[in-house]
Amino acid sequence: MSLNIPLSVPNLTLDILENIKECIETGWVSTGGRFITEFENKIAEYVGVEEAVGVQSGTAGLHMSYRVLGVEAGDEVIVPTVTFIATVNPVTYLGAHPIFIDCDDTLNMDLDKLEEFLETQCEFTERGLKNKKSNRLIKVLCVVHIFGNPIDMERVMGIAEKYNLKVVEDAAESLGSYYVDGKYKGRYTGTIGHVGVYSFNANKILTTGGGGMIVSNDISLLEKARFLSVQAKTDPLYYKHDEIGYNYRLTNVAAAFGTSQIDQIERFINSKIKNYNLYKEEIANIEGLDLLPFNNRTRPNYWFYSVIVDKEKYGIDRDELLSGLNEVGIQARPLWGLMSDQKPFKDEIAYKVEKARYYVDNIINIPCSTSLTEEQLFKVIEKLKEFKE
Ligand SMILES: *Cc1c(COP(=O)(O)O)cnc(C)c1O
């Protein structure tokens, strides 16, 4: 019998129906309507910024971010090799190229290697920071808070300032994570770089079906993004356009989900914390398995749980455990394939990718839905114990 325990599924409540009913009755189902502004305001308030711009996906949000920060065809954008491909694809939509940096033991971008790359491989020219090898300009650095684990933004911003880079925070997975210590104490991930992006895809901490949000402390960047997301219309009556825009605006129907979901985010995070701690206690007793910690100077949103499988001690390797779990109906998955190994990016520059190789081969992500019951969680533990040889 299949246990049927999913990896990460949405946690939706029926109060959304009230909102959807209003969308239907008023006819506001597309890219205008009150839920869009309400949801934008609630997100802005929650993460402590003045304004936010709703878009149709995190990918669209990242595309707009790179664009408003001035990435042009032939430029390069620094990104991590460990991330979901949506961080990287929009770089290429603009005709620019990614440069891939290795991860460290937190799975986030290795900031030592980032600094080393900038120091040894780049130089300042009249046109800006240049990659000596490719002769291309680098204007933007994108960091990702992998699995909700906040990267050290204090250090990121220091490096960015030194090299005159604009910072995009891909906070698609980390809505609700914040710093409890240091310069950015109390600040949420996504709100520290020049632009930050959240995603509301179905497997994220909260969902609108599909959707995303752009935040920034520079209101002019947000205005530009909002303008571009509605086809860059300069004159709403006569339909004049002076620039090429996109159809990227969040819909009222999606926002109708969001405005209910955001009210529950702390409940969702508390559930993630509780389950993480239960897993931690139990996995500590299974030799050969290690639950990856989150950065301790932060309050993460604990979005995804990563377990490292030590084949020597556990008896079977990661892939055997992965198929074993999936066979009994426990959905588990490996880390994403490295970006620097993906076919479309094979010829792009990858700087000293080493650690990422180890993690890509040895990590599994285990069920982490906010609706995961204790009974289901202990089933997962039972199987993790059973499979050990
Ligand atoms: C989910 C995700 C995105 C993209 O979000 P969509 O809303 O699915 O387009 C971008 N980056 C990372 C790291 C993600 O996990």
The reply to whether ligand 1 has any atom less than 6 angstroms from the CB of 365 is no
Angle between helices 252-261 and 16-26 (to 10 degrees): 160
Tokens 């202990």 sit at which residue? 378
Is residue 163 predicted with pLDDT exceeding 80?
A: yes
Percent of the chain with pLDDT over 70: 100
Q: What one-character DSSP code corresponds to residue 29?
A: -
Q: Where are the beta strands (DSSP E) in the chain?
A: 52-55, 76-80, 97-101, 122-125, 128-131, 138-144, 166-170, 178-179, 195-199, 212-215, 233-235, 240-241, 289-291, 298-299, 305-309, 333-334, 349-351, 363-366
Nearest CA to ligand 1 atom 13: 84
The per-residue pLDDT for 236 is 84
Measuring CA to CA, how many Å separate 359 from each of 16, 108, 130, 364, 365? 39, 11, 31, 9, 12
- The string of pLDDT tens digits covering residues 184-221 is 999 999 999 999 999 999 999 999 999 999 999 999 99
Coil, helix or strand for 306? Answer: strand
Coil, helix or strand for 236? Answer: coil
Distance 327 CA to ligand 1 centre (A): 27
Ligand 1: which of 56, 89, 170 to mutate, judged by most atoms within 8 Å of the beta carbon? Answer: 170
Q: Which CATH architecture has domain 16-264?
A: 3-Layer(aba) Sandwich (3.40)
Give the β-pairing of 97-101 and 349-351: parallel
Is residue 171 predicted with pLDDT exceeding 90?
A: yes
3-state helix, strand, coil in the chain (%, to 5): 40, 20, 40
- The string of pLDDT tens digits covering residues 48-61 is 999 999 999 999 99
Measured between alpha carbons, how far apart are the two ends of the chain, in Å? Answer: 23
- The string of pLDDT tens digits covering residues 333-352 is 999 999 999 999 999 999 99
Is residue 389 predicted with pLDDT exceeding 90?
A: no
Nearest CA to ligand 1 atom 5: 58
Joined tokens for residue 158? 């220091």
Is residue 304 predicted with pLDDT exceeding 80?
A: yes
CB count within 10 Å of CB 22 equals 15
Residues across the chain: 389
Closest atom of ligand 1 relative to the 204 alpha carbon: 1
The reply to whether ligand 1 has any atom less than 6 angstroms from the CB of 170 is yes
The reply to whether ligand 1 has any atom less than 6 angstroms from the CB of 295 is no
Find residue 98's DSSP bridge partners.
77
Buried b / exposed e over 312-329, threshold 16 CB at 10 Å, is eebebebeebbebbeebe
pLDDT (mean) for 126-144 = 97
The reply to whether ligand 1 has any atom less than 6 angstroms from the CB of 207 is no
Q: Phi, psi at residue 316, to the nearest 5°?
A: -120, 160
What are the boundaries of each domain within the chain?
Answer: 16-264, 265-388
- 137: Cβ contacts below 8 Å, ≥ 6 apart: 74, 75, 76, 127, 128, 129, 130, 131
Band of pLDDT at residue 1, cut at 50, 70 and 90: confident
* CA–CA dist 66, 165 (Å, integer): 12
- The string of pLDDT tens digits covering residues 2-13 is 999 999 999 999
Stated pTM of the model: 0.97
Measuring CA to CA, how many Å separate 22 from each of 16, 35, 42, 176? 10, 10, 19, 28
Distance 182 CA to ligand 1 centre (A): 28
Domain 265-388 falls in which CATH fold? Aspartate Aminotransferase, domain 1 (3.90.1150)
